[in-house]
Amino acid sequence: MPTTTAYSAKIDHLQILNEDGILDEKLGKDVLSDEQAVFLYEKLIEYRRIDEIAFTLQRSGRMYTYPQNKGQEACALGSGFALRKGIDWLVPCYRENAALFLHGLPPHLVFLHWMGDERGNAIPAGVNVTPIAIPIGTQMLHATGMAWAFKLKKEDRVVITYFGDGATSEGDFHEAMNFATTFNVPAIFFCQNNQWAISVPREQQMASETIAQKALAYGAQCIQVDGNDIFAVYKATLDARERARAGGGVTLIEAVTYRLGDHTTADDARRYRDPAEVESWQAKDPAIRLRKYIERKGLWDDAKQAALEERAKAIVSEVVKASEGIAKPSPTEMFDSMYAELTPELARQRNTMRTHSLGQYPEQVGLSASPAHR
């Protein structure tokens, strides 16, 4: 019997706006309007200034370890813009600030999170994002469960979950992908492939030529996009959203990008990255690329840039003031955002501020009859 082909596939790579800010008119037709392109550029700059001040706060001892988003904003911003605010859900890792802010998360909550204040994880009602996830990969399982619930309840919602290239080497990624595709849930797996899992380059993490192809093993749709091209990111995510809404299941998007800063403020990337590599990616900066595009179309100029910078400065000032000026928490506030309704055991812990039975029930050992406890 002759050998036959059991399976064959190809991975598409999508780029619409190149590094010089030139749009592919055919691919880019009706993707983003002029007004949307300007809006996204303004948000990118505003959010980058917030990111930069967070770095400054950490360096001045006013914030703990912080992971910069600089260089990867088009991934979060473009994908977040494609999701429906207040309807769809975002399940982030820790480098998606632009998407979170776009969907209504107050920026000072992210600052509080990295300042070690638990109130930074108290997401306001109506803001459909989950708290920042520090463990690598766990959020993908949460997103899969949420998407399955929405499917069972027949709700018109899509869930997007974000992660880095290193997370695809975790078992959680494979378990989540297998479950999500088997149950055909409305989920988008968005990988920000920034080339480095802390100090380990992508080539040393995996033998696969792309991350997108990992979806093929699970029967998911997949595409690789230029992650610094906000047009490509938006279109790929929008297509994945509509596919999921129509019952087409899971899509894995690999956005090829680069973190221009260190992994976190506790890292020194100069020890393992070639300066020439960093310099080459600085030329691909999504902010520079998008500005070139709107300038070429006559939508932007130096005066508008100066006004934007002033506005961003004022926004940053308010964010810092809100995060540093917050009143000290009361000890019981740790219970406030855990559950909609506290369990009896947790209510008892809150009321007694004790976790052990002797503190909660002193009468068990006769302490209530003791003169010291009357």
150: three-class secondary structure by DSSP: helix
Is 272 catalytic? The answer is yes
Instruction: Say how far apart CA 161 and CA 205 lie, in whole Å.
Output: 21
Cα(123)–Cα(26) distance, rounded to whole angstroms? 40
DSSP string, 66-109: ----TT-HHHHHHHHHHSPTTTSEEE--SS-HHHHHHTT--HHH
From the candidates 108, 113, 202, 259, which is the catalytic residue?
259
Cross-strand pairs, 189 = 161, 252
DSSP 340: S
What whole-number distance in Å separates Cα of residue 210 and Cα of residue 195?
Answer: 11
Q: Is 356 a catalytic residue?
A: no
Is 263 marked active-site? yes
Instruction: Give SS3 for 231.
Output: helix
Catalytic residue among 263, 273, 289, 291: 263
> Token pair 């306001």 is at which residue?
124
Write out the E strands in the chain. Answer: 13-14, 89-91, 159-164, 187-193, 196-197, 200-201, 221-226, 251-256
State the Cα–Cα distance between residues 350 and 41, nearest whole angstrom: 46
Active-site hit among 13, 272, 339, 373? 272
185 to each of 133, 182, 251, 255, 354, how far by Cα in Å?
Answer: 21, 8, 10, 21, 42
Residues annotated catalytic, as ranges: 259, 263, 272
